[in-house]
Amino acid sequence: MRISLRQLAVLLLLVVLTATGCSRQPQQTANTLRYVLEAEPATLDPAKSTAIPESLAELQLFEGLTRLDAKDRPLPGVATQWEISADGLRYTFHLRPDARWSNGEALTAHDFVYSWRRALDPETASENAYMLYALKNGQAFNEKEAAPEEVGVRALDEHTLEVTLEKPTAYFLSLASFHAFYPVHRASIEKAPESWSSQAETLIGNGPFRLTGWVHHGSLSFAKNPYYRDAASIRLDGMYWPIVDAQATRLTLVETGQADMMVEPPVVEHDRLQKEGLLRIAPYLGLYYYVFNTQAPPFDRVEVRRAFALSFQRQALITQVVKGGKLPAYAWVPPGLTNPATNLDFRQEGGDLIREDAASAKEALQKAGYGNALPPVTLLFNTGEMHKAIAEAAQEMWKQTLGVTVTLTNQESKVFLASRTRGEFQIARASWIGDYADPMTFLDVFKDATNDAKYQNPRYNALIEEAQSALDPARRMAAMHEAEQILLDDAVILPIYYTTQPYVASPRLQGVSWSVLGLADFKNAYLENR
């Protein structure tokens, strides 16, 4: 007996609903958003979460001092206003006097002090602790060289929070919206330190929604938070997120009207979905690239690195292999970030910093003394069909243009990351997703002495330090543009494509705000009656 896609979707959804225990789910209304989540959240502890499914759920359940708007600009969240000292080191935040947790308890400045110290505490072992290094003595406390009381955050009173920074950080208001800066409910944590963030019954937040059900590996359920500071504007009654890891199944559920939204439809379906007008592309502040080991021959020669970068055919790769509305990348910082000094996109201002030019690529090899006699090189990538497909395409490009034999080495992700960190490669696959909405989230990567490229350039480092501490927006943006130019002139990386977020959604779904950080904010979402 053959089963249609619609029948299969019904059966699959019934399986999901049965597995998640229908009796434990709140009643769904016509105003319940059904989002098909792609993976089980490992935790909903904002200090410890590192993946998109966690960050996406936390964005609905928590709110920091600020919250990003549709253009990724920081707007008041728990804080209604703030003052910044002339030297850019001290921020005084004024919190909403009526701020509440989702259980109705008052949320105060002391909650932020507790939460930020907890995220930095080495005992918490937060992978996001580095995000709070902007705080005075934040890194020192995390590295056990300072006491928690020495961290630059203190409550002046119940509704006033004073924050002191290590150095001026022009993008701190954006940082304050990042999940590591969310407040967490101290009493819940102290009562159930191991489980508070993995059970709906014990997870208390302060965002537009509250968690009402969590059936592990089954579903998440949300209801509008009546204590949220902007509860009157929330148009959804709630949300129901079944967890389905299979891309095809998620797509079928949306196409058959049994769910409202899913991300990352199968690549093989992109052409069809695009023709049918169903494929949508959201911004995503990320870059897929290859990194050169600048200390490993022959890539210790800038001309060789430049030759490989010049001979890479990005648009052809995207059209034939990658798809998904990806954009060819000819620089390091992706589009989607606004220069506050000019109100223009940082990428638009900077333009393309590298080109595709086979003749120039060959000339660069000649200049390096290799001509067509370049020794075999190795390209390292981690397990994944797309990574393999891109690597095979690169292999052929370089063979045709440069006459070089490229050996492909595939490693399991954990081994691959260790190899890349230790510098045991010549060319390696990499990707970078922004942590916050500022070009610095990309540019400071190669200032780090432990960067994967083993790259060091004093002028580059000086420009990054200038941009990190400059208070004048025009000055810091100019420094970052110059630094990016140096990075591409030195051919440290081979940018391939800017990341996008393909998704499919019901025409009924409106008001979803997509952050360039790859998160959908459902605060203002609603479902049209049709």
Residue ranges of domains in the chain: 5-62+188-260+506-527, 66-183, 282-501
Question: In 3D, which of 385, 42, 40 has the Cα closest to residue 244?
Answer: 40
Q: For 335-358, what is the mean pLDDT? A: 92
- Assess whether pLDDT exceeds 50 at residue 24: no
**Sequence-separated (6 or more) residues with CB below 8 Å from residue 232:** none
Going by the DSSP 8-state scheme, the letter that residue 231 receives in this structure is G
* For range 12-24, the mean pLDDT: 44
Is the fold of 5-62+188-260+506-527 the same as that of 66-183?
Answer: no
Count of C-beta atoms within a 10 Å radius of residue 202: 15
Mean pLDDT of 200-221: 97
pLDDT surpasses 80 at 448: yes
Strand (E) positions, 65-152? 66-68, 74-76, 79-84, 90-95
| pLDDT, position 413 | 85
Residue 370 confidence (pLDDT): 86
Specify the pLDDT at position 343: 86
Flag whether pLDDT at 14 surpasses 50: no
* Average pLDDT of the chain, as a whole number: 91
* CA dihedral of residues 125, 128, 133, 136 (deg, nearest 10): -70
- The answer to whether 336 and 72 are in contact (CB under 8 A) is yes
Q: What was the pLDDT predicted at 8? A: 43
- Residues 439-443 have a mean pLDDT of 94
Low-confidence winner among 15-19, 80-84, 278-282, 424-428 (lowest mean pLDDT): 15-19
Structure confidence by residue, pLDDT tens digits, 219-274: 999 999 999 999 999 999 999 999 998 999 999 999 999 999 999 999 889 889 98
Res 26 pLDDT > 60? no
- Which two structure tokens, joined as six digits, stand for 332? 């390091």
More confident residue, 18 or 71: 71
- Encode pLDDT of 116-161 as tens digits: 999 999 999 998 999 999 999 999 999 999 999 999 999 999 999 9
Residue 22 pLDDT: 37
On the question of pLDDT at 460 being above 60, the answer is yes
| Residue 233 or residue 50, greater confidence | 233
- Tell me which CATH code domain 5-62+188-260+506-527 carries: 3.40.190.10
User: What is the pLDDT, as a whole number, of residue 96?
Assistant: 98
Q: Rounded mean pLDDT of 428-443?
A: 92
The pLDDT, as a whole number, for residue 530 is: 59
90: Cα separation from own chain's centroid = 27
Residue 239 near residue 522, CB atoms below 8 Å: yes
Torsion 99-193-58-103 (CA) sign? negative
For residue 277, pLDDT beyond 70: yes
Q: How far is CA 222 from CA 60, 241, 242, in A?
A: 9, 8, 11
Q: How far is CA 156 from CA 94, 138, 180, in A?
A: 10, 19, 22
CATH topology of domain 66-183: Dipeptide-binding Protein; domain 1 (3.90.76)
DSSP class of residue 44 equals -
Torsion angle (degrees, nearest 10) of CA 136, 138, 143, 148: 90
First to last CA, the chain: 35
Residue 3 — very low, low, confident or very high, per pLDDT cuts 50/70/90? very low
Task: Tell me the CATH number for domain 282-501.
Answer: 3.10.105.10
Residue 449 banded pLDDT, cuts 50, 70, 90: confident
Taking a C-beta distance cutoff of 8 angstroms, is the pair 509, 527 a contact? yes
Q: Cα 404 to the chain's mean position, in Å? A: 35
